[in-house]
Amino acid sequence: MRLRLAGAVLLSAAAYYVYLPLPSGVSEPWKLMLLDALFRSFMQASDVAHTLGVCHRVHLLNRLVSWVEVIEARSCPAVQVTDIRLGGVPTRVFQPNGGKNLKRGVVYFHGGGWALGSGRMRSYDRLCRKMAEDLDAVIMSVDYRLAPEAVFPDQYHDALAASRAFLSSEVLHKHSIDPERVSVSGDSAGGNLAAAVAQELASDETLNVRFKTQALIYPVLQALDFHTPSYQQNQAVPILYRPVMARFWLQYLGASPSLEPVLLANNHTALDQPSISAATRSKLNWTALLPAERRKHFRPVVKATGSPGVVGEVPALTDARAAPLLAEQPVLSRTPKAYVMTCEFDVLRDDGLMYVRRLQDAGVAVTSDHYEDGFHGCMVFAYPPMMSSVGERSMNNYIRWLDQNL
């Protein structure tokens, strides 16, 4: 009897920890709750270690993720997998066996807030294997440097160096890649890097080979407005909470974590901040850039007075290399055909949708692929044990778009 009672108490406690009220439309809510409970456990353990001075919270979190997810390079009959250095940056290469002599090529940047993750994680390994096999394409998954040791522009420079090397005649020839069929892609923070690289290299007149497409998966593209409709609507929806995204931005930009409440209140973009011009504000004016069904009932949060000097202290907040949504229209107009995936229950939804509109206004052909039941990170959960139906759908549609456009 006592054992049963103890079991009931433990089960109730576990259910209380796991349960989280979620929007009714989100895909398979109990799976998302379990996933969130796992992530929260990791993050809480990392916060405790950081507070006790054992190690930086990001280091423990990365160790936990690596212990669970990172795997060795293993080839199979369909795909040869090797670890190399691409432009000096560690990279995992997925080379399909057989097929056509010349392959399509994709350089891919993983997500993780510029601080977590690796292209060697099981989820990215599976994604890149499937891409290599289904597309008969060479996929190069780049392990750029991570915060807190590396801060902007280190991650950007790694992504740029790897991409330049990827487009070089030596690498294209060595891996039998068709120079007319190459793409840059990434998810979340990796989508940020892919967008920034696409902008930079599209304007580089010294290149003989250019990307044919850019494919951005729920990209993070700006840090000036933490009150877009999607930030307001989804601030408490896992797996990417609004305060966590602000923390990731501050780590990436090498800024003080004490600025987190300033960013979350939009005090850094108050109207009394002379370093933010009207032209800059127009590039993320969601009242004009978002369709009505995404604006919904939400209202902009614009302070008349705020915290002075934040942009001066953290100038990368308005640097388009860090925040690609802020790029000038002539730069956007030179970028390749685009695919942008967004999810309804994601704080980053409106970053992606505003970028779709800005690319379209610049004359770029864009496919906007929106998932009404999607959540941030869903595409990498397309396999067991946390397989999500929207993850599987989004992954297949992403690969299908590449197949049709690359």
pLDDT tens digits, one per residue of 70-107: 899 999 999 999 999 999 999 999 999 987 789 999 99
Residue 112 C-alpha from the chain's centroid: 7
pLDDT reported for residue 18: 66
What pLDDT is attached to residue 5?
Answer: 42
Sign of the CA dihedral 266, 272, 276, 277? positive
The domain segmentation of the chain, as residue ranges, is 66-222+328-405, 229-317
pLDDT less than 70: residues of the chain: 1-18, 50, 54
pLDDT at 390: 95
- What kind of fold does domain 66-222+328-405 have according to CATH? Rossmann fold (3.40.50)
**Cα→Cα distances 2→5, 13, 162, 209, Å:** 5, 16, 61, 71
pLDDT value, residue 8: 37
Tell me the whole-structure pTM to 2 decimals: 0.94
Cβ atoms of 326 and 320 closer than 8 Å: yes
Helices 154-166 and 189-202, axial angle in degrees (round to 10) = 60
**Selection from 379, 388, 305 nearest residue 342 by Cα:** 379
User: Active-site residue numbers?
Assistant: 188, 346, 376
